[in-house]
């Protein structure tokens, strides 16, 4: 099978990821931070080590400010609901994933005001528009780092400057960029960075987290046992315990740590170069087809390795179905949980066919996919 659905979940995973998960269940299966015995301490060390590799990846000086969650959606719910109060104003883009759009929809009903910044026809955002959207009650800017539909990269560094200059927290959804683009929370002035483990960070599903800058206090989404200050009914105030209640996904976090170490060992530059080469070949190939429309920048320098297309007059789900069943190529059709993006692209009715690449894909697979599209198009009426 040719797997080109890496923007949903990367597959395959590095062997190191699988080994770390298995080893954790088999040899370090106790409850971390909830007992003084040796296996419990070893489980706690695994979690702390992953906190450290996450911190290193994003230039976070204090690993304790890395909080683990079940996925980026949970991280974003904690960030948005924890920060925004009725009467607050929040600025966002018009291409957000439902992980941002749906919590904001709920917050709107609770009295939070939302401004969506429109993008240009390639799905790119002008940072000046963020500056123009600022109001007296603006309490946060929340934005994905790159679109999961078009791959378009947002100018987070410039938006970060605007946010910092105006004393407004910037929340960045790095679901599509962590493990592909360089992310430096200080240089980019990111106050809350949410990430998922199971995409380009090569961790298993069920992992994710967020960085919360010192000085930002969020209302907790969940409270419960933390293994710390057990004598108190009040949730601990210190990070990460404040935001991490209940037994964590220790095997998953072990796998996430191994996934990030894999990235560090291969080198983020080398990984990015490989994926960019694949995307570049794919986009060049697509441009040869007159009946194919590419959404977004169609420029490897302006996007992550996610490419959305349609074939003129054809249903996106039918194309994806044929690619899967006839050519054994896994891609994704539909709305990709991003109605906002499709409204912007004018594809809310039909969706798009999305191809997304990872480090384990090859040039041969790119060529085979282009050949498959050629065959499909040649057989159309």
| Residue list 49-88, contact with a second copy (CB under 8 A) | 69-74, 76-77
Q: Which of 302, 330, 370, 377 binds a second copy (CB under 8 A)?
A: 330
Q: Rule CB under 8 A: say whether 189 interacts with a second copy.
A: no
By the 8 A CB rule, do 174 and 194 touch? Answer: yes
Q: Which of residues 95-124 bind a second copy (CB under 8 A)?
A: 97-99, 101-103, 105-106
By the 8 A CB rule, do 204 and 17 touch? Answer: yes
Q: Rule CB under 8 A: say whether 221 interacts with a second copy.
A: yes
Q: Which of 65, 242, 274, 336 binds a second copy (CB under 8 A)?
A: 336
Distance between start and end Cα atoms, the chain: 28
What is the per-residue binding string for a second copy in 250-289, x denoting contact by CB under 8 A? Answer: xxx--x----------------------------------
Q: Is 225 left (phi over 0), alpha (psi -120 to 50) or beta?
A: beta
Nearer to a second copy, 140 or 340 (CB): 340
Q: Which of 56, 59, 245, 314 binds a second copy (CB under 8 A)?
A: 245
Q: Which of 56, 59, 115, 235 binds a second copy (CB under 8 A)?
A: 235
Q: Which of residues 337-376 bind a second copy (CB under 8 A)?
A: 337-340, 342, 348
Q: How far is CA 243 from CA 115, 212, 293, in A?
A: 28, 10, 44
Q: Which value, in Å, is the radius of gyration of the alpha carbons in the chain?
A: 21
CB of 347: closest distance to a second copy in angstroms? Answer: 11
Q: Which of 45, 187, 267, 321 binds a second copy (CB under 8 A)?
A: 321
Q: Which of 331, 345, 366, 376 binds a second copy (CB under 8 A)?
A: 331
Could you tell me which of 55, 341, 296, 9 has the C-alpha nearest to residue 176?
Answer: 9
State the Cα–Cα distance between residues 280 and 217, nearest whole angstrom: 42
Torsion of CA 149, 363, 256, 190, to 10 degrees: -50
Size of the site for a second copy (CB under 8 A): 89
Q: Rule CB under 8 A: say whether 174 interacts with a second copy.
A: no
Q: Which stretch binds a second copy (CB under 8 A): 51-59, 218-226, 262-270, 300-308?
A: 218-226
Q: Rule CB under 8 A: say whether 327 interacts with a second copy.
A: no
Backbone angles phi, psi at 76, to 5 degrees: -70, -35
CB of 320: closest distance to a second copy in angstroms? Answer: 6
Q: What is the largest CA-CA distance in the chain?
A: 72
Q: Which of residues 122-161 bind a second copy (CB under 8 A)?
A: none
Q: Rule CB under 8 A: say whether 94 interacts with a second copy.
A: no
Q: Rule CB under 8 A: say whether 38 interacts with a second copy.
A: yes
Q: Rule CB under 8 A: say whether 334 interacts with a second copy.
A: yes
């Amino acid at each position: 099978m040719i797997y080109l659905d890496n923007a949903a979940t990367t597959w395959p995973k590095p062997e190191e990821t699988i080994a770390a998960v298995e080893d954790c269940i088999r040899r370090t299966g106790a409850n971390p931070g909830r007992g003084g015995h040796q296996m419990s301490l070893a489980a706690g060390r695994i979690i702390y080590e992953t906190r450290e590799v996450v911190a290193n990846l994003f230039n976070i000086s204090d690993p304790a400010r890395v909080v683990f969650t079940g996925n980026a959606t949970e991280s974003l719910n904690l960030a948005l609901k924890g920060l925004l109060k009725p009467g607050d104003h929040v600025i966002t883009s018009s291409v957000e994933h439902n992980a941002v759009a749906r919590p904001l929809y709920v917050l709107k009903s609770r009295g939070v005001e939302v401004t969506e910044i429109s993008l240009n026809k390639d799905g790119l955002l002008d940072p000046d528009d963020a500056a123009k959207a600022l109001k007296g009650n603006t309490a946060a800017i929340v934005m994905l780092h790159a679109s999961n539909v078009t791959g378009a990269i947002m100018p987070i560094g410039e938006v970060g400057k605007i946010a910092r200059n105006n004393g407004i927290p910037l929340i960045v959804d790095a679901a599509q960029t962590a493990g592909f683009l360089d992310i430096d929370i200080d240089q980019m002035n990111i106050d809350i960075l949410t990430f998922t483990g199971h995409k380009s960070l090569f961790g298993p599903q069920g992992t994710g987290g967020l960085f919360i800058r010192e000085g930002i206090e969020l209302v907790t989404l969940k409270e419960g046992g933390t293994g710390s200050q057990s004598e108190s009914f009040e949730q601990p105030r210190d990070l990460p315990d404040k935001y991490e209640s209940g037994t964590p996904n220790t095997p998953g976090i072990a796998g996430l740590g191994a996934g990030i170490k894999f990235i560090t060992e291969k080198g983020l530059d080398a990984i990015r170069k490989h994926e960019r080469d694949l995307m570049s070949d794919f986009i060049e190939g697509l441009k040869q087809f007159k009946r194919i429309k590419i959404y977004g920048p169609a420029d490897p320098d302006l996007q992550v390795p996610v490419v959305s297309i349609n074939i003129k007059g054809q249903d996106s789900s039918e194309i994806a179905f044929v690619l899967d069943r006839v050519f054994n190529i896994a891609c994704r059709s539909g709305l990709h949980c991003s109605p906002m993006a499709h409204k912007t692209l004018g594809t809310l009715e039909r969706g798009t066919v999305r191809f997304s690449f990872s480090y384990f894909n090859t040039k041969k697979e790119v060529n085979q996919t282009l050949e498959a599209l050629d065959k499909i198009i040649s057989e159309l009426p």
